[in-house]
Amino acid sequence: MNVILFGPPGAGKGTQSQHLVKKFNYFQVSTGDLLRIEIQNKTLLGNQISEIIGRGELVSDSIVDDLLNKIIKNEKYKNKIIFDGYPRTLSQAKELDKMLNENNQKIGCIIFLNVKRDEIINRIEGRLSCIKCGKILNKDINKEEINNHECGEENLVKRSDDNGKTIIKRFDTYMEVTKPVLQYYSTRQEFVEIDGSLKIPVISSKIEEMVIA
């Protein structure tokens, strides 16, 4: 089934997506990662969006919808996609329904990871991501795992948009623009809310239960 992992930046969507990828061979589709690849590769699109992402604002719906359309059409990913960080606007949510419908697919599970603003800000301030394997760790919580990280500690870096001012902007954008998406999904049978402040393995097992149900 296709899964949507939904929640504010720093809620743990990336961490839980990676867990599902390892355990059930899902494909993680993070629109944030797809956009960062465009920036790294200095493509025309990458140059257009780097300032927008740096300010913590959302990239236009048409840009992300186009990126997603290519993935949804690809037979390789059919019914095995975890949507991480998409949809983020009501228009994207409606477009996703349309794209899935056109490709004979649907959403099997919509998981909302709910975490409070203060905790989000602390988490993102300390967040490090591995540029090689994508592993996400926190410099204050995972000291031992950082020392023993298999790709080497030097590959664990802070994202350029993980700074105080941008974090607050991203959270506020989430509350303002993305909240309506929550309302759009919350009445659906496949919608589940999980307390995202629980321990990572506890959240993982709750998600596993839903995905295998």
Please report whether residue 178 would count as binding ligand AMP according to CB under 6 A. no
Name the burial class of residue 9, with classes exposed (0-12), middle (13-18) and buried (19+) by CB atoms within 10 angstroms of its CB.
buried
53 binds ligand AMP (CB under 6 A): yes
50 phi/psi in degrees, rounded to 5: -65, -40
Q: Does 8 bind ligand AMP (CB under 6 A)?
A: no
Q: Judged by CB under 6 A, which of 4, 20, 39, 58 binds ligand AMP?
A: 58
- DSSP letter at 84? E
> Is residue 85 involved in binding ligand AMP (CB under 6 A)?
yes
Taking CB under 6 A as the criterion, the residue among 86, 113, 128, 138 binding ligand AMP is 86
CA–CA separation, 35 and 86 (whole Å): 12
Outline where DSSP puts E strands in 11-139: 27-30, 81-84, 107-114, 127-130, 136-138
Size of the site for ligand AMP (CB under 6 A): 17
139 vs 143, beta carbon nearer ligand AMP: 139
Query: Would you tell me which residues interact with ligand AMP (CB under 6 A)?
Result: 9, 30-32, 35, 52-53, 56-59, 64, 85-86, 88, 92, 170
